[in-house]
Every structure is written in C-alpha cells, then in structure tokens.
Amino acid sequence: MHWNSKSILGELLDAHITSLLGTDYDDFIVLIVDNGSKDGTPDYIQGKFRDPRLKILRLSRSYSFAIANNIGLNYAMRFKPDVIVFINNDTIVKRDWLRKLIEAFKDPNVGAAQPLIMNFNGTIQFLGGFVDKLGRSPSLGSISGSQIAERFVEIAVRHNVALKIYRPLGACVAVRAELLKEIKGFNPYLYFSHEELALATEIYARGYKIVCVPNSVIYHKYGPSLGRRKDLVPHAIANKFVFIILYMPRKYLFGSLVGRLIFEIALWVKNMALRRRLSITPFIVGLSYTLKFLIRAHTLRMGFSKIREELMTRTPLYLNERKLIAYAANELMRYNISLFTDYINDKIADHS
C-alpha cells in the first residue's frame, strides 16, 4: 500500500519497487494499492517502471490500513493467487526472499508466514510477536534484543525450520489466499495498529499456525511516514482497547480492559514527565473513540474469534524493554519447544 510515497520515501521508493521486481521467483504479480496519494505517486511509478508484472490500483481517497489492504485483496483475487503477500513500501527484499517464504506453505498447517525482518544496519528488527492478557504483544527484535534473536535464528537456520510465532509484523506477511477469503481480510474496525494481531487471532482460531522463515530476509525502514500522521495517535490508543473488546475471551475481558487502562495511564504520565511538551489531548481523544465503540461492542464482539487461552503469555502489568524481550524469548521457546529440546540434546551430545 502506498500513500504519498514519492514525497515521503524518496529514493527508497525506487529501491523498494526495483527489489520487488528483481525477485527470483517464476510467477508473481506486484499490486500497488495507492491510498489516495496527492503527490503524483501512481503516475511516477507507472512512468518509471514499465513491467507487465506491476499493477497499480488507484483509490479515490485515503482509507485506513485495513480497508485499503482489503480493497487490494479483493482486486488481487481476480488473479487467482494461492498466497498473498502484504508488504510495506519502506522495505527492500533479497532476491530469494519470496521463494524461501513460499516454501513454508508446503506445511498444510501454516496459514501465514513472514520473513526475517532486518533493520538497514544489519540488526534484527522483528523475529516474532506474541500476545498477553492485556492485549499487548511482546516481540523479539529491535537493537537491544537483536543478539538474543540472532541466536534463535542461528538455531532455526541450522535445523532448516521455520519458527512458530503468534503475531507477524504488518511490514511483510504472506497468507493463504483462501484463508484470507474466509477471514475477510483485515478487521476494518481497527483503524490504525493491531491489525496483524487481530489477523493472527483469526488464523489460529481456524487451526492454522503462523511462522517466521529465518532464511527469507527483507530490510525495513520503520515508520518513515508516521511522523507526519499525528492524527493517527488517538486511533492507535483506541485500538489497544478495541482489540481487547473484540478478541479477548469473556472471562478475561473486564480485567484486561481495566489493567490495560491502568497501564496506559501510567505510561502516558511517565512519558509526559520525560517529555514535557507531550500533550494529553491525543490520549483523551483515543479514550473517547473507545467509549463510542463500546456502544455497539456487544453486537460486534460476537462476529470475531477469541484468543486461545493456551497461546497467551502471562506477563505482569508493568513491562520495561528488557523484561519485554525476556518474555518474548521465553514464548518463542515455548512455541517451538521441540526444536530447542533437540538443540539442547545436540549440545549435550557434543560435550559428552
């Protein structure tokens, strides 16, 4: 999906499209969904990249991430794909990324797969995310957690396996087309953020799993356009609660909402103390969006799957970055216990 990409991304836009078209794979189509750009992005792309595999779908106005991708999904279905890959326009892919990513779907239990997502400085940005009872998603990656992630990747590559995770990163995720059709794509009630966490919940509810394929590699420049979209902040706050309302099992619902509210208030107060110019207004607006949603929440809640209890990680109310990484690492091991048991046994055998 593209939105004013020419002015925001600059040369990265050219590098993104060039790398996609240079993918070493026999049969694929690149569909660019232009989300109502006003800077001439679609005309620029059409004029510079004359490749029959490149299609542009121009939307008349700007939609949310979920809705714009769903429009693109419906359009893509006319090409009768087996797998659909959603990928951000601030990425650059390795030539063999798609071939290795698609191999994961040879396992009939895999519903979605993501590549290993790297920062441009060579550190691991995202290996996988999970979900707790407050609707948060501890994830493994970032600069501080990259060394831990590297060890997991080393083990997975050595055994030539994909790593089971709960949440993929929306920057790049491949999903079985028929499964997407059944789920009806991304949740349109999530205006900004938590879309991939909701998608993961629906995939697991249908008996599939989600994996990260460590030998499929892309590079991602995190959020170059978000700094210009301060209007999205209240939606991001609201979606933290909307996700809980729609997807949390009933027995955890009240505690999850109250706990998340306490956590978010404490976090916002802390950020205001550290950044004196931070306004409380976006937080209040976000909560007002949540209250409006609550009016129709009961009816809407019935139409969505709930998080499977055995897949939730149990975390304390407060999580600093170091603890967040530790819980994510623990969950990655729990989700892939047989792989790491084999690895430990191999190590013991080597030393005996």
Count of Cβ atoms closer than 10 Å to residue 345 Cβ? 10
According to the per-residue pLDDT averaged within each range, which of 100-109, 116-125, 275-284 is highest? Answer: 100-109
- The answer to whether the CB of 51 falls within 8 A of the CB of 17 is no
Cβ contacts of residue 28 below 8 Å, gap of 6+? 53, 98
Task: Quote the pLDDT of residue 349.
Answer: 56
Contact (Cβ atoms closer than 8 angstroms) between residue 163 and residue 212: yes
What is residue 253's predicted lDDT score, i.e. its pLDDT?
Answer: 94
Alpha-carbon gap, residue 89 to 16, rounded angstroms:
6
* pLDDT > 60? residue 273: yes
Report how far residue 352's alpha carbon sits from residue 346's, in angstroms, rounded to the nearest whole number.
Answer: 10
Residue 352 pLDDT > 60: no
CB 51 within 8 A of CB 29: no
Backbone φ, ψ for residue 162 (5° rounding)? -90, 150
Q: Is the confidence at residue 223, as pLDDT, over 70?
A: no
How large is the average pLDDT for residues 252-262?
94
Query: 163: closest CA among 127, 118, 202, 120?
Result: 127
Dump pLDDT digits (tens) for 41-56.
889 999 999 899 999 9
Average pLDDT, the chain: 89
Helix (H) or strand (E) holding 66: helix 65-76
β pairing state of 110-118 and 54-58: unpaired
Place of tokens 């609550």: 294
The answer, yes or no, to whether residue 9 has pLDDT greater than 70, is yes
